[in-house]
Structure 1
Amino acid sequence: MLIALQDITFEFGARTIIEDSSWHIVPGDRVGLIGLNGTGKSTLLRIINGEYTISKGSINKSKDLTIGFFNQDLLSFESDESILSVGMTAFEKAVKVEKELEELTKKLETSEDEALLMEYSEKLHEFDILDGYNIRHKTATVLEGLGFSTSDLERPYNQFSGGWRMRVLLAKLILQQPDVLMLDEPTNHLDLPSIEWLEKYLSNYDGAVIIVSHDRYFLDRMVNKIVELYQQELHHYAGNYEDYEEEKSLRRELQQRAFENQQDYIRQQERFIERFKAKASKAAQAQSIMKRLDRLERVEQVDNGPSKIRMNFSVDKIPGKILCTLNGVSKSYGPIKILENARAEINRGDKIALIGANGKGKSTLLRVIDGSDSYEGDRQPGHNVVTSFYAQHQLESLHLDNEILEELKSCASGNTEMELRGLLGAFLFQGDDVFKKIRILSGGEKARVALAKVIISKANFLLLDEPTNHLDMNSVDMLIDALGKYEGSLVLVSHDRYFVSRTANKIWEIVDGEIKEFDGTYTEWEEWKKRMAAQAQPAKAEKEKKSAPAPVQQQKAPVDNTLKKELQKQQRQVQNLEKQLGDLKAKVQQLEADMANPDIYADKNKFKSVESAYKTASAELAKAMAEYEAAFEKVMELEEKAQG
């Protein structure tokens, strides 16, 4: 058991977040913590992290437990150091020892103090135990897995945007390898290749992992348990998100059936009481039934959760068959080429997902299609096309002094106030929230207002750049349903694979400046990619086979004699190398003993000489070992040929 939450209660002022709930976290757990926005998922993570004190119950943690918590608050961190240096701070002890070694080296340049040499030797050993020689490589590997190029590693942390900074801090947390890793919306800051890398990493992670995410595709692949925070209680489910949905549906069905059966029973008993309570012969029995009903543990009626508000995209005009054509379009930012002589066509009814790694130019291509960014080449808009573009930069078009409801009314969409308030409810603006000024909204709230404006725009062609970033699962479902019924066409950019798989009928990828189109869904595209990769393996093997030297023919006796001679030669080589390896191992062991000898490390010059000899002998040993392995493999190969 890593952490045990037993009957805990926590309140924020008069509001209860969690009441009398328990949760046991054990090694190997991969938990998806879910719940509607505002129910307190992030608060619960902070309770586990020790940031908040519970008012009731107990929290027990195993001895020396380490917890890593990835959350938005980490963005307050500032540093002028390189991202590689920031990432390497995960290895706090090794970095500290490395700095101490640097200081000792400087002192030893001007002093031959025996105590300093002893300390230097001990620190070297400690640095080796901490695997200090590999921390740079480990950090670089994780950072590059999360999307950074090798050239980025030495750039200062403060030069990166918020999303990229979060990746650095996620890398640092991963490298610390805590016993419990808590991730609050980790995929919000990652592109598809980085999410896939994170999935592979977490699949092999030794500790427990708790994930808060609206990305159900990520949860389906990552978790083996679901904990739902619902109505101030924790509800536990085995399996991934898909399993949770099935089991919850079954639980609700059973609960509703039990509720209805109990209500039938209560009505029957109440009718009996009403009928016979005034009759002396039945009064005692009626009184007994009344007491039984008072003691009855009532089954709650199923709460269907937030109502599903319908989002409807209305289309005023029907466009021509072709909405936009790109011919020989090129786009560069300085020396960086985004598009080069690219060609593409968007037809009526197309619902295109533009996917790929960050930095490949997906958002740039949306702006080129929109005509709001400069480019070289030919772009032909279609007939009767009415475009609505949702992207982060579109937030600048919001009127800061308007209230939210007022901002939607200003679009002159013809929707009633009730319809607009319903739509805003779907975008998480409840009750009096609709009267908030745009000016005081957070970035995420402004993004939701901008997306609501797109929905009521009556455009027949939508360009959507990460539309689900600030929505909860319920709202994403409603948006998927609306886009499924949408009669217009769209091009969207999203890292939410579930959203893409449910909305797109074509996939676009930017590859070497060209737009590659796949005519099918995201699931079909994934399967196609796997098939292509599988087919590429035999082709690669065949190519390597053709480029390899022709095998020696073994049909004639002279060839057999040649084989025998070559085999005997290789066997002698193996014997010589075995003797050489034995001598080198003995030499290395002797030098290790010398380095531990107080008489030697007390003498600065002697110590340096022995240390240099030790490094040379170790390198020779490694080289000899490689030669031995190659020679041994050659012997095995020749023996097989001789036997064949």
Structure 2
Amino acid sequence: MIVMQLQNVSKHFSGTDIIHGINLEIKTGKTTGIVGKNGAGKTTLMRMMAGVLSYDGIISTPKGITVGYLSQQMTLDSDATVRSEMESAFSEVLNVKDKMDDVTEWLSKHEYTHPDYNSKIKEFESLQSYFETHHGYTIDVEIKTVLTGLNFELSDLDRNINEFSGGQKTRLALGKMLLERPDVLLLDEPTNHLDLETVEWLESYLKRYTGAIVIISHDRYFLDQTVDSIYEIEYGKGTVYHGNYSLYMTQKEEIYKQQMKLYEAQQKEIKKLETFVEKNIARASTSGMAKSRRKMLEHMNVMDRPDYDHRKASFHFDIEKESGNDVLRVNDLAIGYDDLTLNAHLNFYVEKKDRLAILGPNGIGKSTLIKTIAKLIPAIDGNILYGTNVSIGYYDQKQAEFSSNNTVLEELWKEYPHMSEKDIRSVLGQFLFSKDDVMKYVDHLSGGEKARIQISKLMLEKNNVLILDEPTNHLDINSKEVLEQALLDYPGTLIVVSHDRYFIRKIANRVMEIGHDDVFLVNGDYEYYLHKKEERLAEESANEVPQVEEKKDVNMDYQEQKERRSEIQKIERERDAVETVIHNLETQIETIELEMTNPEIFNDYEKLDELNAQLNKMNRDLETAMENWESAVERLSELELD
């Protein structure tokens, strides 16, 4: 079913076409990814689809279709608790619950002989049917599932929303929108502020979403996992490609090659005809043939040269001097700030030409670790031994958020005053700053443009070890691909912290996941790391022997704490779901028992037998549900004692 249709949609700012002639169909059960360079008009298009920006053309939705829009800047500001704010996503269903309670109270106070008794029974049945089909009995479970999936604790349910950070409020806004279940879900960079584990949960959730989804994202792995089609905006126009991001890239290249082949063949034919006309139009013997070919040229439908934006940054990292084979060894390292230790007992090594990707949950100390390695902050304990001739270049995403009153040219020139203006312009040209672009003021640039300036500085340093913290943040997809190629060609050693799995999969030849006082190091690429991690978890699970013992020390292994917390949350969700089933069955049993007291039913033996059979089945189901609830509570008690 088509839930949104765009026909010849355009947008102009100050007389300039941003996008024009957009035609797109959004269908229920399908996910569309919108891609394009920074500034191509992706967010503009989504804002028009959300109805928050005017446009020319037609955007239509069937009557009753709901649209939810999560912008990049959206946060949830409220004095309410998390629980009440999330419950507001179910306001209509909860209103029905209040009406059910009112009817139940009325039935408890009146005899079946009351003239309105039967109509009240029917009213209750109608309300209950609506409540059940709109997931009323699982509201609490759904809220807890979404919040824990978005990396909140259940204890956060009773906290005031304004106590949370900006990034957490954005996650809460996303959570509320997911709970509202709009028919069309519009998400602009939904993976911002999410760690890797939470992104994976969101992927899983969106795969099960029954409505239509439209996603803008620079996370190529995320797009690969979630979308059914790609809508690319290029030169203000849109093109649909069926399949995920990787298939889109393959299709686009193939289509371009085919179109270019046809274009070149036609240009060759045109040149041939023009040459014949030029040589033969004046000759009496061949003039007729020349005129015929000229007529062919006049009526020929000449193809435009295929559009393909090949304007990409093009740079490479060199080194001044090679390092030794042993680049660094980390021995029993403790990291943190002042008196706060974020992690300790870290041990690993890095060798020449390693491409080491460092993974781990937010707050575990990944950025602190690489800053310590880069000698930007001191270690709290332990040591790092550096090899021969090691020179380190460091970059993190915050460097792309700097302010400067300089022009682009001045910003780079002040760092390398010995270089000529021509050479500085040449370097900037490799990063897409050409001609008048170099005279733009830095403070007027986008985050992606500032990132390219900082990477250009890093390139000129020619270090033999590069330490990068989230280097693909702020970059559009084209710039990410160029950076990947430059790093693949880099002759030195690379240490990178990143949540970009597409980037990691392409770059890394070693992957290290850090936990609390623990590292899991795999000598292989990202796919091999996933395989070894599954093996490790399976082995740990097989070796677990449940037993009651004294409560362990608070400094128990981080991975064990995480797994136990995950198991507790899983059982809590199971327990809550069973509680909902129990409540539902008890309500239905009470309704049937009331109905069986009606004299008309009491004298209708067939109907009475039917209701009695239903009642017996529900009582058996209730007994089973109670047993499941007791089992869940018992397992929770065992885990809490462990």
TM over 0.5: yes
Cα deviations across residues 266-288 of structure 1 (Å, max 9, x unaligned)?
Answer: 11211222123234565455444
The answer to whether the 8 Å contact 2:468/2:495 transfers is: yes
Instruction: Look up the equivalent residue of 2:456 and give its one-letter code.
Output: A
1:327 aligns with 2:331: yes
C-alpha distance in 2, partners of 1:163/1:524? 32
Counterpart in 2 of 1:607? none
Which residue among 370, 374, 382 is the counterpart of 1:378? 382
Which residue among 386, 400, 403 is the counterpart of 2:404? 400
Deviation at 1:201, TM superposition (A): 0.8
Deviation at 1:471, TM superposition (A): 0.4
1:391 aligns with 2:396: yes
| Pair 1:160–1:61, CA change in 2 (3 A) | same
C-alpha distance in 1, partners of 2:338/2:144? 27
The answer to whether the 8 Å contact 1:427/1:475 transfers is: no
- Aligned residue for 2:89, secondary structure, equals coil
Deviation at 1:44, TM superposition (A): 1.3
Counterpart in 2 of 1:37? 38
Counterpart in 1 of 2:63? 63
Deviation at 1:232, TM superposition (A): 2.6
1:19 aligns with 2:20: yes
Counterpart in 1 of 2:583? none
The answer to whether the 8 Å contact 2:334/2:382 transfers is: no
1:299 aligns with 2:298: no
Deviation at 1:205, TM superposition (A): 1.0
Instruction: Look up the equivalent residue of 1:315 and give its one-letter code.
Output: I
Instruction: Look up the equivalent residue of 1:47 and give its one-letter code.
Output: M
Counterpart in 2 of 1:81? 80
RMSD (Å), alpha carbons: 4.0
C-alpha distance in 2, partners of 1:505/1:272? 59
Counterpart in 1 of 2:512? 508
Which residue among 139, 146, 153 is the counterpart of 1:135? 139
- Higher mean alpha-carbon deviation, 296-305 vs 239-248, is at 296-305
Which residue among 235, 243, 246 is the counterpart of 2:247? 243
- Aligned residue for 2:65, secondary structure, equals coil
1:184 aligns with 2:188: yes
1:167 aligns with 2:171: yes
The answer to whether the 8 Å contact 1:11/1:17 transfers is: yes
Counterpart in 2 of 1:573? none
The answer to whether the 8 Å contact 1:315/1:458 transfers is: yes
C-alpha distance in 2, partners of 1:208/1:14? 33
C-alpha distance in 2, partners of 1:494/1:101? 51
Counterpart in 2 of 1:198? 202
Counterpart in 2 of 1:91? 90
1:51 aligns with 2:56: no
| Pair 1:381–1:450, CA change in 2 (3 A) | farther
Is there any run of 5+ residues in structure 2 with no aligned partner, and where? 111-115, 547-585, 600-615, 630-642
- Higher mean alpha-carbon deviation, 60-69 vs 149-158, is at 149-158
- Aligned residue for 1:92, secondary structure, equals helix
The answer to whether the 8 Å contact 1:35/1:230 transfers is: yes
Counterpart in 2 of 1:547? none
Counterpart in 1 of 2:237? 233
C-alpha distance in 2, partners of 1:39/1:368? 39
| Pair 1:414–1:505, CA change in 2 (3 A) | farther
| Pair 1:186–1:386, CA change in 2 (3 A) | same
The answer to whether the 8 Å contact 1:181/1:207 transfers is: yes
- Aligned residue for 2:361, secondary structure, equals coil
Matches within 5 A, 1:558-569: none
The answer to whether the 8 Å contact 1:510/1:516 transfers is: yes
Deviation at 1:175, TM superposition (A): 1.1
Is there any run of 5+ residues in structure 1 with no aligned partner, and where? 545-583, 598-616, 631-644
The answer to whether the 8 Å contact 2:335/2:365 transfers is: no
- Aligned residue for 2:59, secondary structure, equals strand
The answer to whether the 8 Å contact 2:397/2:473 transfers is: no
Instruction: Look up the equivalent residue of 1:377 and give its one-letter code.
Output: D
- Aligned residue for 2:461, secondary structure, equals coil
Cα deviations across residues 433-468 of structure 1 (Å, max 9, x unaligned)?
Answer: 433334455555544433332232222222211111
Instruction: Look up the equivalent residue of 1:409 and give its one-letter code.
Output: W
Deviation at 1:196, TM superposition (A): 0.8
Deviation at 1:350, TM superposition (A): 2.2
C-alpha distance in 2, partners of 1:428/1:72? 26
Matches within 5 A, 1:439-450: 439-441=443-445, 445-450=449-454
The answer to whether the 8 Å contact 1:97/1:123 transfers is: no
- Aligned residue for 1:73, secondary structure, equals coil
The answer to whether the 8 Å contact 1:145/1:194 transfers is: yes
- Aligned residue for 1:341, secondary structure, equals strand
Counterpart in 2 of 1:566? none
Counterpart in 2 of 1:369? 373
C-alpha distance in 2, partners of 1:414/1:170? 50
Instruction: Look up the equivalent residue of 1:88 and give its one-letter code.
Output: E
Counterpart in 2 of 1:409? 413
| Pair 1:629–1:516, CA change in 2 (3 A) | closer
C-alpha distance in 2, partners of 1:587/1:205? 32
Deviation at 1:374, TM superposition (A): 4.6
- Aligned residue for 2:167, secondary structure, equals helix
C-alpha distance in 2, partners of 1:247/1:54? 30
Cα deviations across residues 104-130 of structure 1 (Å, max 9, x unaligned)?
Answer: 9xxx9xxx9xx9xx9x99999687775
Cα deviations across residues 252-302 of structure 1 (Å, max 9, x unaligned)?
Answer: 111111111111211121122212323456545544433432332212223
The answer to whether the 8 Å contact 2:77/2:169 transfers is: no
| Pair 1:176–1:415, CA change in 2 (3 A) | farther
The answer to whether the 8 Å contact 2:221/2:501 transfers is: yes
Counterpart in 1 of 2:590? 588
Cα deviations across residues 133-173 of structure 1 (Å, max 9, x unaligned)?
Answer: 54333122112112223344434333333332221111111
The answer to whether the 8 Å contact 1:588/1:618 transfers is: no
Counterpart in 1 of 2:562? none
Q: How many percent identity over aligned positions? A: 35
The answer to whether the 8 Å contact 1:585/1:621 transfers is: no
Number of aligned positions between the proteins: 560
| Pair 1:589–1:150, CA change in 2 (3 A) | closer
| Pair 1:366–1:94, CA change in 2 (3 A) | farther
- Aligned residue for 1:317, secondary structure, equals coil
Matches within 5 A, 1:156-555: 156-280=160-284, 282-283=286-287, 285-331=289-335, 338-382=342-386, 383-394=388-399, 400-412=404-416, 417=421, 420-421=424-425, 424=428, 432-441=436-445, 445-533=449-537, 539=542
| Pair 1:592–1:169, CA change in 2 (3 A) | farther
Counterpart in 2 of 1:28? 29
Instruction: Look up the equivalent residue of 1:400 and give its one-letter code.
Output: S
The answer to whether the 8 Å contact 2:522/2:532 transfers is: no
| Pair 1:267–1:449, CA change in 2 (3 A) | closer
Counterpart in 1 of 2:557? none
The answer to whether the 8 Å contact 1:330/1:339 transfers is: yes
Q: TM-score, normalised by structure 1?
A: 0.76
Cα deviations across residues 166-218 of structure 1 (Å, max 9, x unaligned)?
Answer: 21111111111111112212223221111111111111110111121122111
C-alpha distance in 2, partners of 1:306/1:248? 13
- Aligned residue for 2:192, secondary structure, equals helix
